[in-house]
Structure 1
Amino acid sequence: MNKNIKLSISLLALALSYAVSSSAIASDAPAPAASTDKPKAAVTATAATSASGPTDDDMSKALLNKINKGSGDIVIRTGDLPAGNATAPSKPETKPKATKAAAKAAEKDHHDVHWSYVDGPGGPENWGNLSKDNLVCLKGKTQSPININVDRAVKAELTPLEFLYRPSQLAIVDNGHTIQVNYGEGSNLIADGRQYRLVQFHFHKPSEEAINGERTDMVTHLVHQHHDGGLAVVAVLMTTKPPVSSKKYWWGSDEVKENGLIQTLWNNVPLIKGKSEAPGVVIDVNQILPADKSYFTYMGSLTTPPCSENVLWFVMKNPIYVSEEQVKNFDRIYPMNARPLQPKGDRLVKETKAN
């Protein structure tokens, strides 16, 4: 065997022996007995300690490499050890993305809030924040309802409204915000030469619109749609106050009686919200129109989300009369479902000129 090879093997054996003895001397405490129930945390810590420094195998390889190169010394320096075994800098602990997760959770909770008439997260002041589809509720410039100042309304010779209504099978639903009646096809409104189909009517308590700052007990909104998608809403005010000209006779008085159509509707309100009922009853919406059909008109919006604008409004100047019990019955279902008044801005309000 070649003398150099013999010398190399001898030196290698010597280095290994030295490394093993040095490792044993470096430990002051005796090695703990092996235990099968050693805590996992301790095992992890031991493994981490071993990985932090070079192993005996790494030192042997480095020494053999030196001998083969004939470098002239057998001192093992840090630079001679494999780079992968150098103590790696500790990585900063990765923090959970709590902020992002919390934001997503908050966003989800935000969208889970449904709009309502009660102050709070879903209240009228927050409708525009509940969904991007409702932004116009917050940023719109022609929102409804408004207060109509009679002294500021322009008196004009307006075309009379033509109510071409016919009887319909009753289809009634409590939609969670109001009592709504979906009306059958064939009933129309003619306004300024345009024909609008009556789609549905529903109720608010108190009236959403105000006349000279005063709201009535209730209002019904008759919603019509043109074939081009345009909307026209007729607001019929409802009051329990008797007419000023009411008289008393020996057989009684002409005090306000209950409205027949309203009573039919209340009799057939579904027991379950969201469920539409068709009880086989025929109704005639003409029964909730005032005899005097003069009106105010202005451009506005829907009074519920998404608050779409460019709605042509007709507010009847004269209310219809209902009984206190009929108003109380609605109050038992919806004590208050009216949107706050919105700024009128520079909008023009017209009023039919008195004859």
Structure 2
Amino acid sequence: MNPSARSPRRATLLAVVLASTITLGACSAVDGDKPKPPAGASAKPDQDKSGKPAAHWSYEGAEGPDKWGDLGHGFGTCTTGREQSPIDLTPGTAQKKPAAITVDYKPAPVKLENNGHTIQANVPAGSRITVDGAPYELQQFHFHLPSEHTVQGKGTTMELHFVHKNAQGRLAVLGVLMEEKPGTSAFAALWKSLPDREGRTVQTAQAVDLNKLLPAQRAGYQYAGSLTTPPCSEGVKWTVLKETVAVSPDEAAAYRKLFPKSNRPVQPQHDREVLVSDPQS
């Protein structure tokens, strides 16, 4: 028998092995386009820290904000928490002195990531805010549309959140309300690089001056709150600046095309105080 000849059975087996190899290669390519889990998270994006399948959540429908607490996997605080964010920012009459806050942001390139819920900008070390003398390092900033916080019942076109963490792992968020206005905005350079598909990242070629994304006046509303996305963890120090910044109509439309709705509705204030801070630079 010719050693180079193959029986029909061997030919069939070879075809199956070859097809399996091609299929695995295709899965690897798809998985490689998914965002990497953050530090401390499960190595697999479809699992939580305990190794269980991660709960999917959304801003609308059966997995929308009013259902987050029922999705399991540590999301219960979204329903049972008493210090949830966002809220309507209506200052009370309390005489308590607000925390002094200073901003120290450094120009730097950022990596924009489409994580399926928002555009998140991951930043290098070096930028921080100081809250009553305690430093909080900037971790990332991201956007919501429309705004999550309201002021006396009125929202804005979008909202920007700068997320900071101190040495003990506690969070402080600086919120910036974005109002749609004609003309060129400080966000123009970022909008040129928005990743248009979940899992994609884009590194900005030039350094971004984060200070230009803030209003000139730094007076703001302060209160004790939470993350505005699952697991809705509490203990977050919130400052939402009173003065708005401009976003152009074209920029708002481009973001709305990616994420038509990406805001959690306002939550009950309960007995929390809303304080108003003085302008700081």
TM-score between the two structures when normalised by the length of structure 1: 0.61
Q: Residue type of the partner of 2:243?
A: N
Residues 154 and 351, structure 1, Cα contact 8 Å, conserved in 2 = no
C-alpha distance after superposition, 1:137-179 (max 9, x if no partner): 11111100001114x2546654542111101112000100001
1:341 aligned counterpart, secondary structure: coil
Q: Are residues 1:320 and 2:245 paired?
A: yes
Within 5 A, what are the aligned runs for 1:186-197?
186-197=126-137
- Counterpart for residue 258 of structure 1: 184
SS of residue matched to 2:178: strand
Higher-Rg structure is 1
Question: Hey, what's the Cα distance between the residues in 2 that align with 1:343 and 1:226?
Answer: 27
2:12 paired residue number: none
8 Å CA contact 2:142–2:161 kept in 1: the answer is yes
CA distance in 2, matches of 1:153, 1:288: 31
User: Do the aligned partners of 1:156 and 1:351 also contact (CA within 8 Å) in 2?
Assistant: no
Alignment partner, residue 231 of structure 2: 306
Higher helix share: 1
Q: For 1:283, what is the secondary structure of its paired residue?
A: coil
Q: For 2:54 and 2:102, locate their aligned partners in 1 and report how far apart those are by CA, in whole Å.
A: 43
Matched, 1:215 2:140: no
Q: Distance in 2 between matches of 1:153 and 1:172?
A: 41
Aligned residues of 2:147 and 2:157 also touching (Cα < 8 A): yes
| Aligned with residue 268 of structure 1, among 173, 190, 193 | 193
**Aligned-pair distance for 1:265?**
1.5
The change in CA–CA distance for 1:181 and 1:230 in structure 2 (over 3 A counts) is same
Segments of structure 2 that go 5 or more residues without pairing to the other structure are 1-52
Q: Which of 116, 125, 128 is 2:58 aligned to?
A: 116
Q: Match of 2:31? A: none
The aligned counterpart of 2:271 is 346
C-alpha separation in 2, matches of 1:159 and 1:344: 19
Q: What RMSD over aligned residues (CA atoms) do the two structures have, in Å?
A: 1.9
Compare 273-282 and 221-230 and name the one that shifted more. 273-282
Contact map agreement 2:54 2:73 (CA 8 A) in 1? no
Against the structure 1 CA distance between its residues 239 and 187, is the aligned structure 2 distance closer, same or farther, given a 3 Å change threshold? same
Aligned residue runs from structure 1 range 102-181, under 5 A: 114-120=56-62, 122-150=63-91, 152=92, 154=94, 158-181=98-121
Give the share of equivalent positions with the same residue, in percent: 38
Q: Which amino acid is the alignment partner of residue 235 of structure 2?
A: N
Contact 1:230 1:311 in 2 (8 A): yes
SS of residue in 2 equivalent to 1:286: helix
Which amino acid is the alignment partner of residue 143 of structure 1? Q
SS in 2 for 1:331: helix
Give the paired residue count: 228
- Give the conservation status (yes or no) of the 8 Å contact 2:100–2:278: no
C-alpha spacing 1:153/1:199, structure 2 compared with 1 (3 Å)? farther
User: Cα distance, 1:213 vs. partner?
Assistant: 0.4
Q: Within 5 A, what are the aligned runs for 1:227-238?
A: 227-238=167-178
How is 1:25-64 mapped onto 2 (pairs within 5 angstroms)? none
- TM-score where L is the length of structure 2: 0.77
Contact 2:114–2:198 at 8 Å: present in 1 too?
A: yes
Distance in structure 2 (CA, Å) of the matches to 1:219 and 1:169: 21
Correspondence for 1:333 among 244, 258, 267: 258
Give the aligned residue type for 1:216: T
List runs of 5+ in structure 1 lacking aligned partners: 1-110, 242-255
Choose between structure 1 and 2 for higher RCO, CA contacts under 8 A separated by at least 6 residues: 2
Secondary structure in structure 1 of the residue aligned to 2:61: coil
